Amino acid sequence: MVCSFDFGKQFGPLGEGFIHVHHLRPISSLREEHDVDPITDLRPVCPNCHAMLHRTRPPMSIEALQHHLPAGTPLDPLI
């Protein structure tokens, strides 16, 4: 959801289907039991982008991180 990195294209069969998932609401901020809805609560991101999202507290938004990408970086959302 942040960059267009494709593990399958880069690593072939080893990378097919590999991705990290980012919780839009940090798990540490949940004070009560919460059912996670994959559509509304999670976003697929590459591990590097996932780490960058968590460089700030609270984690920055996906849109904010996209503004840090160099001009011309292809953005190819999966959802």
What pLDDT, in 10s, does the model give residues 9-66? 999 999 999 999 999 988 877 778 878 899 999 999 999 999 999 999 999 999 999 9
Residues 47-62 as b/e (b if ≥16 CB within 10 A, e otherwise) read eebbebbeeeeebbeb
**In-domain check, residue 57:** yes
**In-domain check, residue 55:** yes
Cis-peptide, bond into residue 38, ω within 30° of zero: no
**In-domain check, residue 76:** no
Q: What distance, in Å, lies between the first and last C-alpha atoms of the chain? A: 7
Number of structural domains the chain divides into:
1
**In-domain check, residue 50:** yes
> pTM of the entire structure?
0.83
Cβ neighbours around 63 below 10 Å, total: 9
Give CA–CA dist 46/10, Å, rounded: 12
> Which pLDDT value is given to residue 76?
55
**In-domain check, residue 77:** no
**In-domain check, residue 1:** no
> Which pLDDT value is given to residue 75?
67
> Which pLDDT value is given to residue 30?
76
- What is the domain extent for residue 42? 7-66
Q: Are 9 and 46 in contact (CB under 8 A)?
A: no
**In-domain check, residue 12:** yes
pLDDT for 78 beyond 50? no
**In-domain check, residue 33:** yes
> Which pLDDT value is given to residue 10?
94
